[in-house]
Amino acid sequence: MKASRPLILESSLLCYLLFAQGCSHNHLEMAGNGSQQKTIEYRPNKSVRTTGLLKGQKKMSEMTVEESRKVLQDAEQVLAETKSAVESAKKKFLTLEEMLVADAKVRTAYHSVRLIPASLFVAGNDIGERYNKLILDLVDTRNKLITVIDTEVYSATHDFIKRTGKTETKLRSNLESIVKVIDRYPSPDLVKLKDSIAGKLEAVKQVSVEPVEPAIKRIKEELKDVPNFIDKAQDARKKKLFDDSYKWKMRISEVAERAAALFKSQYDALTKVEGNTSSTLYHFIENERKVSGVNGYYNHEHDLSTKEEEEWIKSLNLNDKVAKAREIITDAEQDIVRARALDAKGDSVESYILYDRARFSLARSTSYTAGLSISEIGESTSSKQDNLRDETDKYTSSYQSKFQEQDALFTRGIAKRLRTIEASLKEAEVLAKKAEGVLKYYHPMRVAGLVKQASRKDYDRPNVKVSANGEVSPYNKGDELKSGDRIGYSYVSYAELPRIDTGETFNGLSSKKRRVHEASVRVINTSNLEVGTSFNKMKFVKDLIGEAKTGEFDLPIAGDFTTDDSLCIRQTTPASGIITSVISHFKLGG
């Protein structure tokens, strides 16, 4: 009696995120009694090139029973390790890189088991039973691992989007404030800080990946027909038109497979575009999840139709079962012939779709031949069924495996991009905090003409350290002061030389108008002074902008003739300053 080969059939879904995992796949497992169970499995990525064979494994046609058992034993060991990795990953004991390594191992084990030839699945040995259970367990365990990986990356990209928005808002606010401060107090340090903020704003802003957005749009357009396909498949099943039901299910599968190929074509763009692409990555994953949701409906429908068809098959006589199996095998063979031609032309995507559809058809045919002897089926039919299934297994496995290096590069590129985005955001957050710390030492612009004496409250404000070159930094009590460093306060300092009192000696000048036309100031370690004949008309002392200096410096005075003249000095920044004398010259007139 011929045993039903426990076969997994694949129908690729979208490129599953971890961008790492490449195209995801649906699998239909053929149990030993001909029953079918739908599960989901995803493509792996590995940084090393693999062939889909475990060490020491031979190709299909060369493998013996004992060698197949060794493959199964090695894969069972990988399965146990992967189950342990899943639990560790759930508890956040594994890094993303370690999860990817575990994923690559289980993926390789899965491909190795799949290459066990159909000829070994005969009644009397344990290979078929072990194969069936192991394939299901590998798929189920890997799905659990992929779920953890997907959640990790999906959450990270979503968090990056929120952090980017908050950080950009802070940096823009800081930039606007610093520009205003620089207009009034053009300190070189502030200019440097302004340039740093502008550069970091450019680094953290969201960057779109142009080719990806149209690809997502195309996939959304194609998916619009899927609900209709599902409805038609359900309607056909309820009417027991299982051929029609199968046709509509395959339409759903083909849409998903083409979507997978389209997403894979965006790998280069997603990894090569520089900058913060977290928003594009997030939407990439989000749309993949929508496709996975569609597959959930498909999986459910497939389970129902398979069970109902198998129950219906029981009512058929032997001749009808064999005739239907041969019809399905013939359809699969025709798909394979077309697939070979497309592969020869280099159209691997469409070739894969046809091979994959043939795999589904051949698995369906085993529901009609399960429990029948080879003599009842016909030796040529039985042989053709096995040979075609070996061919579809080999092609689809090869199709998935040959892109593993490309997938690995994609995985490493995305992982590197996520680390870069994380580092850039952290730097931007630190810079924003630094800018806020600097800005708090600069008072908002005063109302013109307002002169306020420093109060006790002013002295209680945070102190700053002013170095010999005028650089200002926060100062906490007990901090070390180097030679030339001074402690400054964050309040505004004012000085005003009132109108000239001529006294009795020059009593005749008291009513004369005069103006200061020339003045100079002698200072020690002083910077950022403003002067004027009133607090409404202030100008910076050019030679004292930025770096603190010692010596005598000319003051930019241009007063009007008045009987109430004065010389005003102001220092708004918390810079150092000691004024030893002010020398002014005035003229009579007016």
Cα 336 from Cα 356, distance rounded (Å): 9
Query: For 73-95, what is the mean pLDDT?
Result: 93
Among 200, 221, 207, residue whose Cα is nearest residue 270: 207
Domain end call among 379, 397, 422:
422
Query: For 31-45, what is the mean pLDDT?
Result: 29
Cα 366 from Cα 299, distance rounded (Å): 19
Residue 589 predicted with pLDDT over 60: yes
Is the same domain home to 250 and 109? yes
% the chain with pLDDT above 90: 28
Q: What residues make up the domain containing 462?
A: 456-588
Whether residue 438 lies inside any domain: the answer is no
Tell me what pLDDT residue 422 has: 92
Output 260 or 35, whichever has higher pLDDT: 260
Domain end call among 374, 405, 422:
422
Domain end call among 398, 422, 446:
422
| Helix or strand (DSSP H, E) at 79 | helix 65-90
> Token match 């739908």: residue?
38
Is the same domain home to 402 and 531? no
Whether residue 360 lies inside any domain: the answer is yes
Give me the numbers of helices (H) and strands (E) for the chain, helices first please: 15, 13
Highest mean pLDDT among 3-7, 28-32, 76-80 belongs to: 76-80
Whether residue 434 lies inside any domain: the answer is no
Give the residue ranges of DSSP H helices in 224-275: 226-238, 242-264, 267-272
Q: How confident is the model at residue 42 (pLDDT cuts 50, 70, 90)?
A: very low
Whether residue 34 lies inside any domain: the answer is yes
Is the same domain home to 511 and 369? no
DSSP per position, 389-422: HHHHHHHHHHHHHTTHHHHHHHHHHHHHHHHHHH
Is the same domain home to 344 and 471? no
Output 37 or 422, whichever has higher pLDDT: 422
Q: How far is CA 401 from CA 71, 78, 104, 258, 354, in A?
A: 18, 18, 11, 18, 18
Whether residue 443 lies inside any domain: the answer is no
Q: How far is CA 506 from CA 498, 499, 502, in A?
A: 17, 14, 5
Query: For 452-463, what is the mean pLDDT?
Result: 46
- pLDDT, tens digit, for every residue of 302-343? 888 888 999 999 999 999 999 999 999 999 999 999 999 999
Residue 9 predicted with pLDDT over 90: no
- pLDDT, tens digit, for every residue of 354-365? 999 999 899 899
Query: Which two tokens mark 98?
Result: 């370690």
Is the same domain home to 325 and 464? no
Whether residue 283 lies inside any domain: the answer is yes
Mean pLDDT over each residue of the chain, to the nearest integer:
77
Q: How confident is the model at residue 470 (pLDDT cuts 50, 70, 90)?
A: low
Q: How confident is the model at residue 41 (pLDDT cuts 50, 70, 90)?
A: very low
Tell me what pLDDT residue 63 has: 80
Whether residue 448 lies inside any domain: the answer is no
Tell me what pLDDT residue 543 has: 85
Whether residue 442 lies inside any domain: the answer is no
Residue 43 predicted with pLDDT over 50: no
Is the same domain home to 333 and 479? no
Is the same domain home to 412 and 461? no
Is the same domain home to 179 and 226? yes
pTM of the shown model: 0.58
Output 298 or 340, whichever has higher pLDDT: 340
Q: How confident is the model at residue 210 (pLDDT cuts 50, 70, 90)?
A: confident
Is the same domain home to 416 and 464? no
Is the same domain home to 415 and 474? no
Cα 329 from Cα 42, distance rounded (Å): 27
CA distance from start to end of the chain: 126
Among 503, 501, 553, 559, residue whose Cα is nearest residue 528: 553
Q: How confident is the model at residue 222 (pLDDT cuts 50, 70, 90)?
A: confident
Is the same domain home to 389 and 522? no
Query: How many domains are there within the chain?
Result: 2
% the chain with pLDDT above 70: 72
Is the same domain home to 226 and 368? yes
Query: Which two tokens mark 317?
Result: 């006589």
Query: For 192-219, what is the mean pLDDT?
Result: 90
Tell me what pLDDT residue 46 has: 26
